[in-house]
Structure formats: structure tokens, C-alpha cells
Structure 1
Amino acid sequence: MNNVLLGVLFSLVFTGVPAFGQEARPDPDWPQAADINSPAWHQVQAYAFAPRDDNSREGVRTDALLVIKAGRIVYEHYAAPTTVRTSHLTWSISKSVLATLLGVAHGEGRFALNDPVARFYPPMQTHPQVRLQDLLHWASGLDWQEDYEYAPLHSSVVAMLYTRGRTDMAAYTAARPAAVEPGRQFLYSSGDSNLLAAALRGMVGPQRYAQYPWDVLFTPLGITSAVWERDASGALVGSSYLYMSARDLARIGLLMLRDGRWQSRQLLPRDWVAFNRSLFAKAAAQPGEANPGGHWWLNQPLPGAGRPWPDAPGDTYAALGHWGQALYVLPGEQLVVVRYADDRDGQFQHNELLKRVLAAQAEGRP
């Protein structure tokens, strides 16, 4: 056995340090870069954790910011009361984690993208043309108003989460009238996501459903902090109510960054990750807003428009949630970024944070 091979074996077996530049992985926890939180990150810190009046709802209000580079933590900071152990509400990041969970089910052969939703969720027989891929594109065609606390009387999502729809959120959504033909128009809808969560129960069966996210996704990834609320019908609130620590959410990002591979196992099919990252072009561009993929958000331009986040690479994609929650994946830079927040006034800009993160990690390169 030559000395090079002996060195590799010693590195892997005795030190746990990846040899030959192999990417680090969180086993059991994230390794940290030697220069974690170096001065290069000062401008990131200044933007994300600007001084604020705790009695005010204005300004950028970051609770946690975690940056992973090539599998190692290069920056991590928390604002009290959030800590490294806090299972933070992810809001609509839940939707993208649900899509990741569905990717495992897809790899198990439980459904095809063109399957009608009614095959797995019978109340959707009133909308027989709606397919699973339509829901994943937020293009069910069902009438929906995704207004939040600023227009609660007209909000479908407020009614679903808090009033007449809260006991059975998928049934509330399935009862909505059709507005347009399925698959023809992007209309962001938390109801579409909760229909997916209910359809998953039909795919895996009621006996396995409650434990399924842990059995096939969270436990294999080493995620221990996840809490996922269910409504009174027993369905996961796939739109909104997943809680997870920043470090655990970063594991979802690393899985996606590595095209569904975790250690030696292809946990998600590569073609599923490609679907998540494929632009659904039937949407109208909104300045600064990412564009829809397969239940993820992409920094790809719609026809006639530029990239939503011009200072970030075009292959950047993200899971995004209300009040500034974000999980960014930058494949070309080998970066995963988690941000938890409590933004209330719209001052936070995804592009500004990503621009500063990219500058900091470039400054820190040897």
C-alpha cells in the first residue's frame, strides 16, 4: 500500500477530515472553517444585524444568519432570543421542504408529475384536470388571494390558516372555484401547497404519513430539531408551519446543492432537483422578486426581464418565507445561506444580502 493511499485512509478514519479537498459534511454536526466570522464578514454583519430599536417594527430584523461554504460554517450569528438550538418558524420555506419530501416519494415511484391530484386526494375530483405538477408550479387555476395581515378580510390564506379553513386546509382549498385553466398561469397559493401535503398522505398511506418526513428525509439528513404542525384533519401544514434550527435547515440546502446526494446515498433523484430548478415561465416578472420553479424560487429571468437578484449568480435559487425567512443555494459558489428574520416593513433586500455574502467569501479566499 503506497504512502498516498495510507494518508487518505488516515485522514478519513482517524481524523475525520476530508482528503484531497473533498467537501465537508455535517456528521454529526457542521465543521467550522478556521477563520469563521473573520473580518471579511463585517459588511454582512452590518447589514443583517443593524442596530435597532426593539420597540420598533421597522428595519432589517435578522434573528439568525448562517453561511456554509463547501460544507463548512464560515459565518454564523444569532440575535437573542434566537440561538443555535432554536427551532424557528420557517413560514413558506415549508413549501420548498415539502417539495423536497415529495422528491423522495417520487424517487420511490409513488407518483408521476402528470398524475391528477384527485388520484391521491379524492376531494379534488371537482377539479379533475389539476395535476401534481400544476400544484408544484402554483398553477392550479383555483381562485385564490394570497394576502396576509394587511388585507385579512379578502385573504384566502388567512381564512385557510386561522378561520373557516383551519380544521381541514386542503378541503378548504379544494372547494375554491376554478379561475383559469390548470397549468396556464402562475398564481402563488398556500392552498396549492396544502393540497400537495394532503396528496402525500394518499401516496404513502395514513399509517405511515405522520412519521414519513422523519423516516425518509429528516433522520437520514441528521435533522433533529424539526417540528411540523398538522391541521385537525391530520394533514401537514405544508404551506407554513415547519419549525427548524438554522443548522438543520442548512442540511436541506446542502442536499439540494449536491443534486440530491447525501454522503453515499442519492436521497433525491437528480431529475427531481432539476425540476425544482426549472423556471415556470407563465408568471409576470416583479422587480426584486425571484421567479417560480418547482416549489422553489429561482434567480432566472422571465422573458423580457433581467435576473431578479442581479448581483447574485444566475444559478442561485432559494426557499423563501414570510417576514424575511430564506434558504439560499448558490451552486457555483458552493454556498448555502440560511436567514431567519422578523422583517415587517419591506426594507430587507435579498440582492443586497447576497451581494455582501459573495463579497465576503471572495475576500476570504486564500
Structure 2
Amino acid sequence: MSKGLSLFFLLLLSVTAHAEYWPAEQWSTALAISTPALQSLEAYAFRPRDDATRKGIRTDALLVIRDGQLIYERYAGPTTAQTPHLTWSISKSLMATVLGVAYGEGLFKLQDPALKFYPPLQKHPAITMADLLHWASGLDWQEDYEYAPLKSSVVAMLYTRGHQDMAAFTAGHEAYAQPGQAFCYSSGDSNLLSAALKNIVGPARYADYPWTALFEPLGIRDAVWETDATGTFVASSYAYLTARDLARIGWLMARDGRWKDRQLLPKDWVAFNREPFAHYRAHQDDAGPGGQWWLNRAVDGAPRPWPDAPDDTFAALGHWGQAMYVIPSEHLVIVRYGDDRDDSYQHNELLKLALKAFAGKVQP
């Protein structure tokens, strides 16, 4: 074989090894063959389910996309492929993606004051849209759940005195830091973004905007997104999607905001989502924040939070074990829904096992 033909076939192999597929009404499938690595993944994710005590790892769905094709899915409990599952805080990353479409329309800039789009923030005029996307509004906020409900800002917002108008409840908080200078994870910041979107796109477009701007172009048909009493989407918590539909969001992000031949999200928006917040100070083994997404990046001298996954891995994460991992270097999107009520489930362990089962190369 001539040198020219050899180079041609090597090029052909490199292209076909990662052929680009896009889902139509359904994902095309290239189902993985059962291997010891896949069996180890299933043994971890789908342990015997204890519905009486709700203890341990309780996976509802596990789905894997590679190169734009569905290669693995399994469901448990009441969840099926047709179930729009509560995503909890994955909703935050969904709102960031919807906002990215509006950003691409030129309707706002990252450094715009949030007050420009949400007047109840008049006591906090220095907060920018970028600050809210970084969970860095500077507003005093307690993101506690079952373990400290009486002092929890998020419990009050979702269930008691703030639930009628969640953005206004958040805007009423006092500041504890200058905007943009400190990370404080806040479901309130995410709901301020949702309220700002209403004026960014205009009230007439707002009620349908997640669908017309994002879901419909991606072929998502069964999304549900709850609103509060003011008609504002609860961006912190209350979006519901099937695992297959959520994976479409992940594949969009894996492809730098491109869907088929359309650049649905500007590349600089996706880059912003995946860039660590400059003032984040790492602690424990938590993932660091980007723009309403979580990053597997070494920050502030701390190691990567998921050491068995590539450093370009990023994720949308939610309460009780909801997770969507995007690994561009491996052309992988992994959706995991769960009903975990303790700390048994570990992101790194699932990623390590999934990469051994599905990645193009085994991670060290």
C-alpha cells in the first residue's frame, strides 16, 4: 500500500471512529455489548433497591450517549424511558442554556446589571448577570435542606413565605459581600435569572420561550417546567425531562452549542459556562462552579473533584442524585437520575466505572 493510501485510510479511521450523529425523533442506537466493565457499572448503580428505608444508592435511570448515539440505558423504580423525571437543580443548568439562546439573540450582555431586567433588585444595583450565573450575587443565603430547614432560605423560598414570588423573596435578602467577589451557592440567584429572562425576552415570549428557543429545536417534546404564582419559571428546581431528552441538552453542550448545522448557543457562551469562577475557593472535594454548571477542574491548589474523569468533564447536578455529565474529549454524555436520600452515591465512582465501560480509552 502506498504512503498516500495509508494516510488516507488512517484519516478515514480517525473520522469514522467519532462519526457525528444527531437524534431525530429518537436517538439512533448502537447498544454496548455486556462486558465485565459494564457489569461492574451496573452492580454499582443498580444495587438492590431499598424502598422501605430509602437508604443506599437508588438509581432511577442511567443513560449513555457516545458520538451522538444511544449506547446504553436502564431504568428502575417507577421511572421509564417515557417518564419526565424531576431534575431538581439540574434546572439551573437548563436555565443557563435557555439564557444562552437569548444571549445569542443579542438581548443582554454578561456585564449588564441584573437590575436592568429585574427592577426589584434596586437595593442591589451592582449585581450583574454574570454574578448571578456564578452564584456570586453577594446576597446572604442559606442553601440548607432537610438537615436545617428552620434556617434555610431555599426551603422558605420553595415551600413557605417565598413560594408565591421566589425572585422577589430573594431580592429582599441583605447583602453579605460585594457582588462578584464570593461564591455562595444559591437557588435564589438562579430564580433571579429566571425573573430577569422575563424582561429580557418580553412577557409575550416568556411563557413559551424555553420551548421555542431550546426544547423544540432539540426535538424535546415532553418537558415540564413549573412556575411560581407570578408565572416565573422555577429555575432552581422544577424542570422535568426524560433521560433521553435531558441527554439532548448534554449533547448540545458537548458540541460547543452546535445542533446539526445550527449554532444554537454562541461558542463564547458555552466557554463562559465552562470557565471556573475566578473567586471560587475550593473546599473538600466539591466540583467548582462555572456559569450554572459544575466543573472537574483543579482550583485554588485543590485537586480535581473527580480524579478518574478527564479535566474537561462538566456536569449539571441536582438534589437526591440527579446528574448529567458531559465529557467532550470522550464524546460522552451520561445521564443519571436517582432517589438517593443519603451520601452513598459518589460522582467519581460512577464516572470511573462508566469510562471503563464506554470510553474510547480506559482512564488511568
- State the alpha-carbon separation in 2 of the partners of residues 216 and 160 from structure 1: 27
How far the C-alpha of 1:308 sits from its partner, in A, is 0.6
Task: Determine if contact 1:41/1:75 at 8 Å carries over to the other structure.
Answer: no
Contact kept? 1:276, 1:293, Cα under 8 Å: yes
Write out aligned runs for 1:5-154 (5 A).
Answer: 22-35=19-32, 40-154=37-151
- 1:338 alignment partner AA: V
Is 1:231 the equivalent of 2:220? Answer: no
Preserved contact between residue 147 and residue 157 of structure 1 (Cα < 8 Å): yes
* Matches of 2:58 and 2:291, distance apart in 1: 29
Cα contact 1:64–1:338 (8 A) shared by 2: yes
Residue 260 of structure 1: aligned partner? 257
- CA shift, 1:20, in A, is 8.5
Residue number among 227, 235, 243 corresponding to 2:240 in the alignment: 243
Unpaired stretches in structure 1, ≥5 consecutive residues: 1-17
Whether contact under 8 Å (2:31, 2:72) holds in the other structure is no
Q: Is the 8 A contact 1:36 1:75 kept in 2?
A: no
| Structure 1 residue 39: Cα displacement | 5.2
Given that 1:36 and 1:74 are in contact with CA atoms closer than 8 Å, whether structure 2 keeps it comes out as: no
The separation in 2 between residues aligned to 1:283 and 1:21, in whole angstroms, is: 35
Instruction: Map 1:163-182 to 2 at 5 A.
Output: 163-182=160-179
- Structure 1 SS opposite 2:197: helix
Q: Secondary structure of the equivalent of 1:251?
A: helix
**Equivalent of 1:317, from 310, 314, 321?**
314
TM-score, normalization by structure 1: 0.92
Equivalent-residue separation in structure 2 for 1:231 and 1:65 (angstroms): 30
Q: Name the SS for the 1:98 alignment partner.
A: helix
Q: Is the Cα contact below 8 Å between 2:18 and 2:67 reproduced in 1?
A: no
Distance, in Å, in 1 between the alignment partners of 2:160 and 2:31 is 50
Quickly say closer, same or farther: Cα 1:239–1:32, change in 2 above 3 A: same
Tell me, in whole angstroms, the C-alpha distance in 2 between the residues paired with 1:76 and 1:289: 27
Instruction: Tell whether the 8 Å contact from 2:35 to 2:357 is kept in structure 1 after alignment.
Output: no
Query: Who is 1:11 aligned against?
Result: none
Instruction: Name the counterpart of 1:197.
Output: 194
Within 2, Cα distance between the matches of 1:52 and 1:100? 34
1:302 matched residue in structure 2: 299
Shift, 1:126, TM fit: 1.1
Classify 1:152/1:32 alpha carbon distance in 2 versus 1 (closer, same or farther; 3 Å).
same
CA offset digits 1:223-257 (Å, max 9, x no partner): 01100000001100000000000000000000000
| Residue number in structure 1 paired with 2:210 | 213
Shift of 1:53: 2.3
Identity of aligned pairs, percent? 64
